[in-house]
Amino acid sequence: MTEDRRFPPALAAVAECAFDYDDGIDFEPYAEFSSAEETTSWIRAWTGNQELDGAEFRVFGQDGTGGLAMFWTVREGAPLTDQPVVFFGSEGAVGVVARDLSAFLWLLADGVGPMEAVEHTDLDGEPSEELREIAEKFAADHRQSGADVVAEARAEFPDFESTVTAWCR
Establish if 4 belongs to a structural domain: no
Establish if 122 belongs to a structural domain: yes
Establish if 25 belongs to a structural domain: yes
Establish if 17 belongs to a structural domain: yes
pLDDT < 70 stretches in the chain = 1-4, 22-23
State whether residue 16 is helix, strand or coil: coil
Report the run of H or E that residue 14 belongs to, with start and end. Answer: helix 9-15
Establish if 104 belongs to a structural domain: yes
Establish if 42 belongs to a structural domain: yes
With CA atoms as reference, report the closest residue to 5 among 56, 46, 67, 77. Answer: 56
Range of the domain at 24: 9-167
Q: What backbone phi and psi angles, to 5 degrees, belong to 77?
A: 80, -5
Indicate the pTM of the whole model.
0.94
State residue 167's pLDDT score: 96
Establish if 1 belongs to a structural domain: no
With CA atoms as reference, report the closest residue to 67 among 104, 27, 105. Answer: 27
Do residues 94 and 84 make contact, with C-beta atoms less than 8 angstroms apart? no
Establish if 90 belongs to a structural domain: yes
State residue 79's pLDDT score: 94
Do residues 5 and 58 make contact, with C-beta atoms less than 8 angstroms apart? yes
State residue 23's pLDDT score: 67
Q: What is the number of structural domains in the chain?
A: 1
